[in-house]
Amino acid sequence: MLKKFFLSFSFILIVLSSLSTYADEGMWTYDAIPIKQIKEKYGFEPSKEFLDHLRLSSVNIYASASFVSSDGLILTNHHVALFAAQRMSTPEKNYVKEGFVAESLEKEVLIPGMSVRLLVGIDDVTKEIEESAKGKATPQEAKEVREKKIASIESECLKNEGLKGEVVALFGGAKYSLYKFKEYREIKLVMIPELSAAFFGGDYDNFTYPRYDLDFAFLRAYENGKPAKTENFLKINPDGIKEGDIVFVSGHPHKTNRLETYAMLKYKRDVSMPFEIEKLEKVRSLLKNYSKKGKEEARRARTMLYYVENALKSMEGEFKGLKDEKLMSKKLSMENELKREVEKNDDLKKSYGNPWKELEEAFLWASKNFNDLNFKMRMWLGERGLLGYALNIATYAEEIKKADSERLPGYHDADLVGFEEKISASNPIYKDLEELLLLFKLEEMVRGLGEEDPFVKTVLQGKTPQEMAKYLVEGTKLDDPSFRKLLVEKKAKLVAKSKDPMIEFAKRIFPEVRKMEELYKNNVQAIEEYALSQIAKAGFAIYGSDFYPDGTGTLRLSYGKVLGYPQGSTLVPPFTTFYGLLDRAYGFGNKGDFEIPPNLAKHLEKIDLKTPLNFICTADITGGNSGSPVVDKEGKLVGIAFDGNAESHPNTFVYDEYQARCVCVDIRAIIEVLNKVYNAEWIVKEMLGN
């Protein structure tokens, strides 16, 4: 939560020599869609209306979603809405296990603390930002000026237009865009299937294809207590899509790193990733052991376990790509080609120098200081739960003392309304689980730094990790939303005086964390940002305009076609059906993760089993695209993206059309089960009736 979003400075060369082969590559910003390429490959030219309508129907919900009726009905993935279902669940009503279907609009249930936003406009602000930094002596000075300018543009946007603004740096800072968002802060749950139907095959089948998951859910945006009137929304195509047809995927791909240099990839492969994988494996086994204690424990741990498993698989998939010599050589030869081009042109050489060398040195430093960076900094950032509240509140108390433009990202005036709401929102805290996770963290720190390390002594204050974890979790009142609300309302004053052990703990570790952040920023982060932006700019200067920027968590359009792929000597089909779900269930004896979901089993006779359930397409997606609407060339919704196959993990640093695929829930399956399984014809009617 300390760093709510990041700016990405890279861009991607659509592979230079073979444009046509890789033409489905790319996560394009809506103000720079490669219309000519699309037309050449698919004979279809998306119009301005097509693109505006799709953009204005695309919903940002941390991941992705879309409006599917004029009354604010939102379609997204089950696993995107899962967090809400988990948060709303109690021992009495388990939204995860049982699912939920509102019988009508009136029965929809508010999701505490949830908001979504809509990208209503993109302004090019490159000029004003660049001008602000003109004539600055050092890159660091220029950068600071730019950051201040960005903060002021964002707060102006809120003040003048009532829209949340976010400046996104693209193409290594060759382009700055102000993304303007309308926010919806009142979101209700309309319908969510039970976990066993949305997640059939469980963790085994996560990232697997062929797949048989009903990974969808419906929410609704409200304004002033009434369904939001959404002018733009996607009509659904009840006839679905066919093999070979073009599709567009509109969503929010998280950070990709397709310009990472060979030195950076080697650092990942040899230093950071083996460590991260080992850590996640330990957390997974901790959560699994905790889950074994009882049903309630299993429920409490489920969502987190899901995210850990998910992260592990994705990381292992990327790790596999990093160890793939062919892939790595391809990266290296692309890098060397660009290097040579810079070398042989004096102007380019003067402008861009040798950023590859700088990165090599920076990551050598990161390798050498890996332990400190990890145990004194990284492990305390991005926390959730009690410790997360403490760290966020303590940061907040520090930051609001500063002028707006001096603050850390996420703590500008423009962020504060949302921040305060999120901190105060009701959110179940499981103290037993919190204590276990904190204990794990403390023990890892001791293991990594040794008992005699001064920072370890500061953290533990003479206590054992067990004692400290118990003391902190038992003593804190941060599990009470009203206490948290009080702290943020009274701001710095109360936080400074607070004797809450978790708050005190946060204040105690902060000096060292901030010091390490500073070191990291100077020795790695700033160099990384600057050097990558130099590489991006050099590439831009050399190769021209057929580029797309790396994922930034902001709205992008990908396109591709519905297409199976070769695997070994056979073929993987473009579609799956309900028949396949039953085959997989009976193939495993209809039990465990492969049991026919009870609601489906109950209504099996009614379901047309040959209805397409999931399908795959070549569109270039990554994490964050979950829930993205997939539309045909009429702009009608034919499915929603929910996963990449196992072969798509290395997408984070290289796109590959041979086997990597985006996996989608077919709209025909959604209609079929809404009508025949979930007794929710009214939702289908709402979507079709518009």
Positions in the binding site for a second copy (CB under 8 A): 201, 203-208, 210, 243, 313, 316, 564, 568-571, 573-577, 579-580, 582-584, 586-589, 594, 609-610, 612, 646
- Whichever of 389 and 575 has its CB closer to a second copy, that residue is 575
φ and ψ of 68, to 5 deg: -125, 15
**To the nearest whole angstrom, how small is the minimum distance from the Cβ of residue 338 to a second copy?**
32
**To the nearest whole angstrom, how small is the minimum distance from the Cβ of residue 42 to a second copy?**
20
**To the nearest whole angstrom, how small is the minimum distance from the Cβ of residue 215 to a second copy?**
16
- Whichever of 359 and 671 has its CB closer to a second copy, that residue is 671
- Whichever of 136 and 313 has its CB closer to a second copy, that residue is 313
φ and ψ of 301, to 5 deg: -85, -10
Round to whole Å and give the CA distance between 668 and 331: 40
Q: Give the DSSP letter string of 573-592.
A: -SEEEHHHHHHHHHHTTS-G
Closest CA to 460 of 476, 448, 472, 475: 472
Assign 240 to helix, strand or coil.
coil
- Whichever of 511 and 592 has its CB closer to a second copy, that residue is 592
Identify the sign of the CA torsion 304, 305, 307, 308. Answer: positive
- Whichever of 208 and 237 has its CB closer to a second copy, that residue is 208
> Going by DSSP bridges, is the β-strand pair 109-110/186-192 parallel, antiparallel, or unpaired?
antiparallel
**To the nearest whole angstrom, how small is the minimum distance from the Cβ of residue 477 to a second copy?**
41
- Whichever of 210 and 639 has its CB closer to a second copy, that residue is 210
490 CB burial (10 A radius; 0-12, 13-18, 19+): middle
**To the nearest whole angstrom, how small is the minimum distance from the Cβ of residue 86 to a second copy?**
23
**To the nearest whole angstrom, how small is the minimum distance from the Cβ of residue 269 to a second copy?**
18
Round to whole Å and give the CA distance between 671 and 684: 6
φ and ψ of 31, to 5 deg: -95, 10
**To the nearest whole angstrom, how small is the minimum distance from the Cβ of residue 283 to a second copy?**
17
- Whichever of 398 and 666 has its CB closer to a second copy, that residue is 666
From the CB of residue 7, how many other CB atoms can be counted at a distance below 10 Å? 18
**To the nearest whole angstrom, how small is the minimum distance from the Cβ of residue 577 to a second copy?**
5
- Whichever of 139 and 564 has its CB closer to a second copy, that residue is 564
- Asked if residues 35 and 47 have their Cβ atoms less than 8 Å apart, the reply is no
- Whichever of 621 and 646 has its CB closer to a second copy, that residue is 646
Round to whole Å and give the CA distance between 434 and 430: 6
Closest CA to 604 of 638, 579, 634: 579
- Whichever of 207 and 430 has its CB closer to a second copy, that residue is 207
- DSSP, res 235: P
**To the nearest whole angstrom, how small is the minimum distance from the Cβ of residue 209 to a second copy?**
10
- Asked if residues 219 and 157 have their Cβ atoms less than 8 Å apart, the reply is no
- Whichever of 212 and 356 has its CB closer to a second copy, that residue is 212
From the CB of residue 461, how many other CB atoms can be counted at a distance below 10 Å? 12
Tell me if the bond preceding 238 is cis, omega within 30° of 0: no
CA separation, residue 363 to residues 232, 272, 614 (Å): 46, 11, 41
- Asked if residues 212 and 200 have their Cβ atoms less than 8 Å apart, the reply is yes
The residue type found at 48 is: K
Identify the sign of the CA torsion 551, 417, 121, 148. Answer: negative
**To the nearest whole angstrom, how small is the minimum distance from the Cβ of residue 614 to a second copy?**
10
- Whichever of 316 and 358 has its CB closer to a second copy, that residue is 316
- Whichever of 437 and 630 has its CB closer to a second copy, that residue is 630
The residue type found at 570 is: T
- Whichever of 203 and 467 has its CB closer to a second copy, that residue is 203
Round to whole Å and give the CA distance between 529 and 522: 11
**To the nearest whole angstrom, how small is the minimum distance from the Cβ of residue 601 to a second copy?**
12
**To the nearest whole angstrom, how small is the minimum distance from the Cβ of residue 608 to a second copy?**
11
**To the nearest whole angstrom, how small is the minimum distance from the Cβ of residue 688 to a second copy?**
24
- DSSP, res 472: H
- Asked if residues 455 and 449 have their Cβ atoms less than 8 Å apart, the reply is yes
**CB within 8 A of 410, min separation 6: which ones?**
1, 2, 3, 4, 5, 419
- DSSP, res 379: G
Round to whole Å and give the CA distance between 106 and 506: 43
Strand partners, 183: 117
**To the nearest whole angstrom, how small is the minimum distance from the Cβ of residue 303 to a second copy?**
19
CA separation, residue 561 to residues 3, 155, 606 (Å): 36, 41, 31
